[in-house]
Amino acid sequence: MSEELLRVEAVSKAFGGVQVLRDVSLSLKGGEVLALVGANGAGKSTLIKVICGAHAADEGAIYIDGQKQSYRTVRDAVAAGVAVAHQHNMTISRLTGAQNIELGREPTRLGLIDKRELRRRAEALWRAFDVNIDIDAECGDLGPGEQKIVDILKALATNPRILILDEPTATLTLGESKRLFAFIDQLRAKNIGVIFISHHLQEVLDHCDSVVVLKDGRLVHQGLVDETLTREDIVQMMIGRSVAREKRASSAVDGETVLAVQNLKVANLHVGRFEANRGEVVGIAGLIGSGQTEFLQCLAGARRPAQTGSVMLFDKTALPRTVGDAVVSGIYSVPADRINTAMFGALTVEENLSSASLAGLSSKGFISSRMARTRAAELISALAIKCAGQGQKVQELSGGNQQKVSFARWLSRPGLSEASLKNQIFLLDNPTEGVDVGAKAEFYDLIGRLAKRGGTVIVTSAEFTELIAICDRIYCISDGTLRDHFPAVEMTEEALLLKTN
Ligand SMILES: Nc1ncnc2c1ncn2[C@@H]1O[C@H](COP(=O)(O)OP(=O)(O)OP(=O)(O)O)[C@@H](O)[C@H]1O
């Protein structure tokens, strides 16, 4: 590793009186892959935004190559050699990989886009990083792991010396993540300094050189990743307690089938046979983009399948036609794209938490604001949602805390009481994406409690270890078909990978 490339010195930042970063200092060398970890709301994204010019620090300074930076915009930071690849896929599906890589920087000739030069530039980058993807294919035809690499190449097209990767593996399966790490090794070899944000602590230990831990806006640790540092050490530093990784006790499945689907077709998926029982947590394992999201959308009334086949859903023989029908039938959904589709960013935490259960919070036609407040307070405490108060706008929360609100919205409907949830189905599409280890444990506990009360939970996850830990049975999607299922206790991550490839 070479000389110090980036130095963050005593940076502090507050929003509206809430201190989010306190006196944070860290250092990054060329060729170093530095992991930035911390619980949801610890201040990781805010720190990144200060480094990449999106926020100005209240106090402190950023140095690159020992030079104090005075940049005020993202463009200034790019000019100084800083680039960011954001967590959510920013590629445009109808453009090719090459067009995405050069998006916003297209070379022109006689006032028109010079397609040949554009292709040449993208290819030069592609060759420099020895990437094994088709840059002439439309991004919509690439897998999520390949799209992530296109996103990173797009950031690299600005020729940065410091590259920030914000949760790049959050939606990738293990195989896709491995490919991404091989790519990160190339960045290291080219002496690029990488800041890597992740909630997957094992990959931090396996692939990063050093780690910085933030807790409540303070830096509590910066050090090398070596054999003496364990996952448990990092968890302790992040949340001040340890989090067990044991399996949840299997729920009291009473065997009564509440949902059975045969021969359904949706997107690129054929559902040969799928069943879910009362009191059961059923997992669906598949590579991202295998059709599991679309299948859950059909069950939630948000999409019509191309072919319905035969259906048994409680006492009906059809799937819900609308989301409203589904909710009336007792089917609640936490969709994958929840931040855009299932939340009201401009409304408060309390309003979002109440929005799925207004009828239950009403008396004589009026919403009881006392009941809404009490219910919201219960949920905020049960899921440890970090917010300045119930009145804070959801768009001001950290990404992980927004996820928690979207999950909790549907929990506010049945409530956290011990009432039976028989004939209620919860559809959770990758529910713990972006959520920290402590909150994950709370989610698993809540999922177990929903099943114990007789509810049926159907869940997908990019993390197969998570499915093994929380499910009773797991269906696997292989060759575009969902049919085979296995008891979770008999599964390993490797076995699931083989069955879904
Ligand atoms: N624009 C804003 N206005 C008010 N508060 C904000 C704003 N942006 C961030 N915050 C607050 O700053 C704190 C830190 O948020 P940040 O997004 O940096 O956390 P994070 O560590 O990236 O979390 P996550 O793992 O959930 O993504 C949160 O409590 C959040 O509510």
Q: What is the CA(408)–ligand 1 centre distance, in A?
A: 18
The two three-digit tokens of residue 495, written as one number: 């076995």
- The answer to whether the CB of 329 falls within 8 A of the CB of 314 is yes
- The answer to whether the CB of 231 falls within 8 A of the CB of 202 is yes
Q: Whose CA is nearest to atom 18 of ligand 1?
A: 43
Q: In the chain, which segments carry CATH 3.40.50.300?
A: 4-239, 243-330+423-501
403 in helix, strand or coil? Answer: helix
For the entire predicted model, the pTM comes to 0.77
pLDDT at 435: 83
Could you give the C-alpha distances from 8 to 45, 50, 52, 61, 319, in angstroms and in order? 14, 9, 12, 6, 54
Q: What is the CA(396)–ligand 1 centre distance, in A?
A: 7
- The answer to whether the CB of 335 falls within 8 A of the CB of 297 is yes
Q: Whose CA is nearest to atom 24 of ligand 1?
A: 40
Q: What is the CA(41)–ligand 1 centre distance, in A?
A: 5
Residue with tokens 């001001």, as numbered in its chain = 396
Write phi, then psi, for 171 (nearest 5 degrees).
-115, 20
- The answer to whether the CB of 253 falls within 8 A of the CB of 454 is no
β-strand partners of 384: none
What proportions of the chain, in percent to the nearest 5, are helix, strand and coil? 35, 25, 40
Q: What is the distance between the alpha carbons of residues 441 and 40, in angstroms, rounded to a whole number?
A: 13
Write phi, then psi, for 283 (nearest 5 degrees).
-100, 155
Q: What is the distance between the alpha carbons of residues 474 and 464, in angstroms, rounded to a whole number?
A: 10
Q: Whose CA is nearest to atom 12 of ligand 1?
A: 20
The minimum-distance atom of ligand 1 relative to the CA of 46 is 18
Dihedral sign from CA coordinates of 461, 375, 245, 454? negative
Q: What is the CA(82)–ligand 1 centre distance, in A?
A: 21
Per-residue pLDDT tens digits of the chain, which is 501 residues long: 568 999 999 999 999 888 999 999 999 999 999 999 998 889 999 999 999 999 999 999 999 999 999 888 999 999 999 999 887 777 888 888 889 888 888 888 888 888 888 888 888 888 877 777 788 889 888 877 788 888 888 888 888 999 999 988 877 777 777 878 888 898 899 999 999 999 888 889 999 999 999 999 999 999 999 878 888 899 889 887 666 655 555 555 567 999 999 999 998 899 999 999 999 999 999 887 788 999 999 999 999 999 989 999 999 999 999 988 998 888 988 887 666 666 777 888 888 887 766 555 555 555 567 777 888 888 888 778 888 888 899 888 888 888 888 878 776 665 555 667 888 999 999 888 878 888 888 888 888 888 988 899 999 988 888 899 999 999 999 888 998 999 999 988 888 888 887
193: enclosing H helix or E strand: strand 193-197
- Pairing between β-strand 473-478 and β-strand 281-285 as defined by DSSP bridges: parallel
What CATH number does the domain located at 4-239 have? 3.40.50.300
- The answer to whether the CB of 175 falls within 8 A of the CB of 208 is no
79 in helix, strand or coil? Answer: helix
- The answer to whether the CB of 114 falls within 8 A of the CB of 107 is yes
Q: What is the distance between the alpha carbons of residues 105 and 407, in angstroms, rounded to a whole number?
A: 39
Q: What is the distance between the alpha carbons of residues 211 and 299, in angstroms, rounded to a whole number?
A: 42
Q: Whose CA is nearest to atom 29 of ligand 1?
A: 41
Q: What is the distance between the alpha carbons of residues 460 and 437, in angstroms, rounded to a whole number?
A: 18
The two three-digit tokens of residue 287, written as one number: 């590579």
368 in helix, strand or coil? Answer: coil
DSSP 33: E
Cβ–ligand 1 distance for 45 under 6 Å, the answer yes
Q: Whose CA is nearest to atom 5 of ligand 1?
A: 396
Q: What is the distance between the alpha carbons of residues 367 and 361, in angstroms, rounded to a whole number?
A: 6
For the segment(s) 243-330+423-501, the CATH number from 3.40.50.300, 3.30.465.10, 3.30.70.100, 3.30.365.10 is 3.40.50.300
The minimum-distance atom of ligand 1 relative to the CA of 47 is 18
355 Cβ neighbours under 8 A, 6+ residues apart: 344, 347, 409
Could you give the C-alpha distances from 499 to 262, 271, 272, 431, in angstroms and in order? 20, 16, 16, 22
pLDDT at 456: 94
Cβ–ligand 1 distance for 400 under 6 Å, the answer yes
If 0-12 CB within 10 Å is exposed, 13-18 middle and 19+ buried, where does residue 483 land?
middle
112 in helix, strand or coil? Answer: strand
Cβ–ligand 1 distance for 46 under 6 Å, the answer yes
ipTM reported for the complex, 2 dp:
0.97
Q: What is the distance between the alpha carbons of residues 140 and 414, in angstroms, rounded to a whole number?
A: 38
Taking alpha carbons only, the member of 280, 218, 283 closest to residue 425 is 280
Q: How far apart are the first and last CA of the chain?
A: 37
365 Cβ neighbours under 8 A, 6+ residues apart: none
Taking alpha carbons only, the member of 154, 184, 157, 156 closest to residue 168 is 184
- The answer to whether the CB of 199 falls within 8 A of the CB of 193 is no
The two three-digit tokens of residue 87, written as one number: 């967590």
Q: What is the distance between the alpha carbons of residues 224 and 37, in angstroms, rounded to a whole number?
A: 13
Write phi, then psi, for 495 (nearest 5 degrees).
-65, -40
Q: What is the CA(206)–ligand 1 centre distance, in A?
A: 27
Q: What is the CA(40)–ligand 1 centre distance, in A?
A: 8
The two three-digit tokens of residue 288, written as one number: 């991202």
Cβ–ligand 1 distance for 40 under 6 Å, the answer yes
Q: Whose CA is nearest to atom 13 of ligand 1?
A: 41
The minimum-distance atom of ligand 1 relative to the CA of 214 is 21
pLDDT at 334: 83
The minimum-distance atom of ligand 1 relative to the CA of 38 is 21
Could you give the C-alpha distances from 297 to 249, 322, 324, 381, in angstroms and in order? 29, 10, 13, 30
- The answer to whether the CB of 50 falls within 8 A of the CB of 11 is yes
Helix ranges (H only) for 11-106 are 44-51, 74-79, 97-101
